[in-house]
Structure formats: C-alpha cells, structure tokens
Structure 1
Amino acid sequence: MIELRALYERDGAGLDEMAREDFGKLFLAADRLENCLGSEQDRDGRHELMNVLAAIRGYAEMLQEDLEGRHPELADSLSRLLKAIQTADAGGESSSRGRSPSVTSEPGFILAVDDRRENRELVARYLSRSGHLVVTAASGEEALHTLEQADVDVVLLDLVMPGMDGREVLRRIKEHEDWRATPVIVISGHQDMEDIIECIEAGADDYLFKPFNPVLLQARIKAGIERKRWHDREELYRQQLERNEKFIRATFGRYLSDEIVTDILERPEGLELGGDLREVTIMMSDIRGFTTLSERLAPDQVVKMLNRYLGSMTDIIMAHQGTIDEFLGDAILAVFGAPLARDDDADRAVRCALAMQAAMADINAQNLAEGLPEVETGIALNTGVVIAGNIGSERRSKYGFVGHPMNVTSRIEDHCAGGETLISRSTLDKLNGHYRVAEPRTLKAKGIDQEVEVYRLQGELA
C-alpha cells in the first residue's frame, strides 16, 4: 500500500476524476484496515474487517481494469495489492487467478441493501458496469419501502444493520405475497455456518461472503434474474388463464347455467354427447297474450319490454340455482335438479315461481312509466324423471332435457291464467316446506292419455 500511495502521488494528476475518486476511497479503506488490525477481532470486529477488505478489493479491481494499458506501474501495484488481499482472506469468495471469465446477463433491476455507504456505492458501481439498474437502501425500512414502489428483480442484502436487520428484512420479503418470488442474495462478513443455514431456511436464494468475487456475484445475479423472469412469465400466464376463464364464464353464462359452465371447464368429458336419467322439477313460464301485445307495439318497444321481463326472471331463477334451458320468445324453460341435484329442488322451484310473480309488480311499474302495457305471466311446475345431457351433434349441441314430464309441464302451462302458478301433484309431493295451495283441478291435456292433477300456488306459509 505504501508503494501504491507513492505511485499515486507521482502519477495521480494524470488520472481522470473518477479514478482519483476511487483511489481516495481505496486509501480511506486502507486506513480503516489499519484500525481493524489494531483492535480485538471479536464477531463484530471480524464483520468490520470483511467490510474493509471488500472495499479495498472492490476499488482495486475496478481501478486495475480501468488503468490497464494506460498506467502500467499503477496497474501492477494494484495487482500485487489484490494478491495480498486474496492471501489474507483465504476464507472469503476469492478471485480466480488470471483474467476472470466474463458473465453476460440480461439487465436487471437490483436493490442493494447495506447500512454502509461505501458498500452500497461499490456494489452499484460494479453492477452498473454490466448494464444493471441499481438502487440502494441504507436500512431495512428503506428497503421495504423500495419494494413497495418498484418491481425488483434481485435483492442484495447485508445482515448486520442497525434497526431492522437483514434477517427481519428477509423474513418480511418471503412472507409477502407479492415479494416472496424475488430472489434474495445475502452478502455478509459473517461466515458462521449457523448464519448461512438460518438464511437459507428463511428463504435466501444464496449466501456470499465479503469480500465477494464480482464475477461470482454476477453469476448469482444472472441466475436470480432468470428465476424472476420465469416466475413473472408464469404469473402473467396464470393471470391470462384466469382472465380467459372469467371471459368464458361470463360469455357462456349468458347461455348456460353456472353449473353447466363449471362442469365443462373442470371436466372436459362434460362436452361429450350423451345423458342420464335425472329427477328434476321443470318450470315453464310465459307472458299471457304476448303475441297480441307485440303486434300493437313498435319493434324497439317489444324488445325493451321483453328484455326487461327476461332479465328480471333470469336473475331470480339463477338466484334460486335453477338451470335455464332456453328462451322461446317470451317463454322460459328452466329446470331444478340438473346438472346438480339437491334435496330441495322442488322447494327452490316453488319459491322461485313465487318470487317471479312478485317481481311482476315492479316490471309493470317500469312499463307504465315508459308508456308500455302491463303484462302477466303464467308459470307451470312439474316433477318427473327426464333424460338430461348433451343433445345434438359433434358440431353443435346443447345441454337439454327429453322425456314425458317435459310434455306434461308444457300442457300445464297452456292452462295457466295471467298471474297464476300451477304445480302438479308430483311436485307437491316432493315439497319439504309448507305452502298454501287451492283445491286441486284435473286437466285433460292434449296428447296425454292420463288426466293431470294440478294445484294453484297461493304462497308460502310462515
């Protein structure tokens, strides 16, 4: 070091400002080294010694690289200094002999956390030369604030800091939902195996000793950036899948029930043609006299009135977990019990019908306010065993229902008056709740040999 100082005093005036500044930091670290060597080497003293050696080695290596070929005597003196540092610090991350291999890495956003300004400046200088964008933090609190403000690729973390130390910073990073995938490389003067194990178990991706080998650091940072990029791509892909699934659910949910969409998305075989026998409660409803009403109205009025009615009815049916099979003009066909069967299918169908009839008052109030006519709906409910499944062809199919109970329900609906809900005996027998119904009526339905017993639904008993 004495030789180097003498050469600098002789040739320093010919150096550029950056080199003179680096020599000043190098000599300042050398003075600190003398103080360290003259004090007792406890745990903290050892840590301070590693910091000083890291600073000397770091600035010496950068100066040697910058001065090579221009100031050979200074470069040779720096080379001898580095060999002495390497010999003195056999336990650190030693430099390789001769020219170190270069490490090319995709530029990253690096956060260097260290309470010592000279350490932060040194790391920033090293990594900036390789094209990385480096921000520094002088404390654990400042590091966490930076992570809240920016998407960091790699964190370089010192352990020994006043206030919030590196271990607490590491813990908080790995417990945070948005930060836990960020690689953390601990750079410390502590070389105790317990410290290393503790940090690795806490989630640190690597542990380097001071004074660190810059080439080795570059290699670890490269690996960290690659891991972060892979994670970011996977996260982006996952978000795209979630958006696509939401879009599919929202789009197909306009045509199919939530249960059917879920069955298709989660069980691909749900798209296969075929079906099985299901006991369901079938609902059919339509607006009484709608054909006559539509002939007296303009097309936009018909569409507005129909959409208001169907929109309200759809919300009510889906709220009661019914499956809307199709709309036929003003008519609605819905089923309770498929694709998912529940113990209260019939009860939900009955409560749904009551809610649909109750909603007509609000629909008609809106119609009257816009100069549209009042409307009334008739609803039929019938319970029976049908074939439920995907019906159609490989090119076009639908989840539908086939069976005699479907025809019976249609015939019951034909007999419904405006504002009336008729339920079959088979539905009444399946109810668990208590409801008010009128005296039974017997219907002779066209195309059905047997008479059908129905009841007018009046309400639910408290």
Structure 2
Amino acid sequence: MNKQLKVLVIDDSPQSREFTIEYLLKPNNFLVEVAEDGLAGLSKALKSTADLILLDYEMPKLNGLQVLRRLRACGINTPVILMTSHGSEQLAVEVFLLGVQNYLTKPFTVEGALKAIEDALRVTRLEKEKQELLNRVLQANQELKHQLNVRDVMYQIGKSITLIHPTQTLERIVDAALFLTNAEEGRLFLINPRTGQLHAPIERKKAGPAGAEKGVRQISVALEIGEQKVGTLSVKIATQGLRDSDWAEYEQMLHLLAGYANIALQNLGYINQIQAQKEQEKQMIRSVFERYVDANVVEELLRRPNQIKLGGRSQSVTVLFADLRGFSIFANRTSPEKTVDTINMYVEAAVEAIFKEHGTLDKFIGDAVMAFFNAPLPQSDHVLRAIRAALGVKQAVTDIQRQLLPEYQLNFGIGVCVGEAVVGNIGTSKLMNYTVMGDSVNKAKRLQEHATGGQILISQETLNVIQPYVQVRLIGQPHLKGQAAEEPVYEVLGLKEEARDELFTSANQSFALATMTS
C-alpha cells in the first residue's frame, strides 16, 4: 500500500476502532484520522483530504447511511467502505447506489478488509484515468474542429491542446487499454503507408513476472481515419478466471479507446499537414521576396505571413526611381568590364540605401533602379522612408565619388511619388514578378527623367504629406510626359532636424484618410 494514503475512520465502537487502526491500517502504513460518531465524522469528512473513508453503519447522532447521503449531497465523492454488524440485501443495494465501493460485515478479517481497500482505491484511480483521457481527447478534437479553417491558429492549438501532443495521447491510450483490461501486453500498430507493413511504435507490458505459462488471448480492433485502415490497437489478456461477459466488456472498452486513438491520429495528421504547409509557405515567401527586400524584412514576413497578399490589390504606395546620369557617354569611352564594375558599384550603393529603409526592390532597368514602399508589409511612414532612402542614395554616391577619378564620377537623378497603385504578382505562369502598376509609378518615372544628377524631385501630392518634415525648393511647373496638366515639382534638399529620428505617422495617416474619402 502507498505510505501516503490517508484513511478516515468513522466508528463509535472503541474496540472496533482499535482493531481497525492498530491491526489493519497502521501495520500497512496508512495515515489515520478518527471520528467517534456520525456528526463528528461528517464534519471531518467535509474538511478532510482522506483518500478513503471506513464508515460504520450504526452510530449515534447520524448513522452511516445518513452520513453517506449528506456527503453525496455536498459533492464529496471520497471512496467509502461501509462497515456493519447487521447487513441486509436491501441495505447493500441502497449504499451501493450511493457510490459505496465495498461493504464489510463485522467482524471482518485483516485480509478481507485490505482487499476491500485495495479494490476501492483501484476503482477510483481507474475512473479518474478514464475521465481524464476522455476529457483531453474530446477537448482536443473539439478545439481542432473549430479551428480547421485557420491554418496558423490551428497549428498553434495543435501543439498545445491541453498541453498534450497527440503522440502522448496515443501512449496514454495504450496505458489505459493495459490497465482497463488487466492485459499482459498492449500494443498500438500502425501501417507504414509506403510498405504496407505493420510496425508497433507504442508497446506496453504489465509490470511483474511474465505470464508465459498462462493461457493468453489477444483482442485487436482496427484504427481508421475515415474509411482507411491505418493500424490496430491490440491487447493480450490471460484467460484464467474470465467469463464470456468479461471478454465482451474488454472488447467494448478497446473499441472506445480505439475511437479516441482515431481522433488523436487524425489530429496528428492535421498537425503534420499544417507543418508541411507552413514550411511550404515559408519557402514561397523566401523565393518571392528574398531578391526584392532586405533579409530583416524577409524574416519579418516569415513571422507575419498573414500580412502578405500576393494577389493584385489597390493600395497607397510610395515609388522611387533612380537613374544614373551620363552613363551612356561613360559606357562609350570605357571598357565593358570597367563599365559593369562601375554600374554595379553605384547600383549596389543605391540598393543598400533602399533596403536600409525596408523598401522593396522592384527591378533594374538598365542603369536605373525602381523601388517601392508600404508593401508587402504595411509601413505607416512609407513616404518618409522613401525620402530617407533617396537622401541615402545621394549620400552614398557622394561617398563613392570621393574614392574615384573624375571620369568615373556619376550621379543619380531621383524621382519620388506617392499614390494609389495595383500591387501584386504580375506576369505569366512561367515568369511572375511582385511589382506595382499605376499613375504614381508613371509619375515617379517622369520626375526621375526630369531630375538632373544629384537631384531628388517630388510631386505636389508627396509634398502635401511630408511638408512639415523636409526642406524643399520649387523648381517650377514642368509638363511631365503622360500627365494631363502641369503641376508644381519640388527638389528635396534635406530633412528638417525634427524629422531625422522621428517615426512618421500622423501626416501619412492624413494622406490615407484623404485617399479613402476622395
């Protein structure tokens, strides 16, 4: 017996109490609590942490049956063994209906009482194990059913449902099958989908001496997902002393547990499928974006894949075009190798400045670079990021020129424009690019064409958003190709002091509101 088990003895007979405590409980290492009448016993039982109650039937104040009824009315389900000197069949039926685990007629033997105690505690553990297993499996299945259409949420729930992974649930099911059927062995077999062969990933054997010389009978039930057989749940049970009704009961238990195993296997399949989908999604994100954006942005996309919408949609973006001025003349008087090395040096500097502001590189067009901001991840300050990127390109070119001879000193003309554009994967089934299209793209290109080397030109719409944060000068109202009317164009000279370290939000939100209401 467990040394830590506590027994509450409720008995008004000193002789009976002495026998029970000194000859039954203490020699078997039980902790003991005592009550000398029914009322005192009820009071102690309501407060006690006892694992078992030995309850006398005939007592003053409250008899055993009255104590038992009040305990059950109060929701106390501690196992009870009733002790009486005058038993009857009617009394036995009544107390068993109230949940009494066993019934001892005085005088009883130590051996008989110990067996009754052991049986009562074993039944309690069995019921607790069955209920715990049932609740966890049903809860896991119910939660997954509600989350099947939400892949990311389902994946997280699948890992943490009741803190038990489906594999652990399957192990618990085999343990329960061994315990409930009193089997010598329990196994869960699964069919290898590639070979069709059975293998047993989970095996359990009863502790103690092997029953090799006993007659053994095996019960097996199929494990199925839908109409597909995926394995079996099997136990081997010693046949000695068992009746036909026992075998029917064991088979029924095994079918119940197999049903739970089917749910766990299905949940495990869902988890594996979602893990594969998540990995496939990550690979897709990497393949689409690692060429266009900084590595830190790729990692952020992997953490927040729900933010990505690859299908075409209209939204506000800020577009940046940068083109090397004088490159054609430079290329005509320079060797091809030196030409490529030089253009790569300038373009790499421009891309680094764009990536620093978490811009998305759209494409290279000869000696020109196109980028955009506010996609694929939203950026509340995307206009200011584009301006900082343009100024970063300008500064990077200045740094490069300090290291080169005059004949290798080139410069970018840059155009920046904010507005609505269609964003998404555009192309054919064989070749697609994540890009933007729209009037804001065309206008940024025309502004870049109008800019001289070292100039950053912006539209009136762009200035309206960031005017409090940049230093500009009006260069006039040139006619931009493709635009219906002339409009002011401004050169960005730099950032105002208060905008250098400020994350820009309010002005850009005003622009977003204006575009929604226009």
Q: TM-score, normalised by structure 2?
A: 0.42
Write 1 or 2 for the structure with the bigger share of strand: 2
Q: TM-score, normalised by structure 1?
A: 0.46
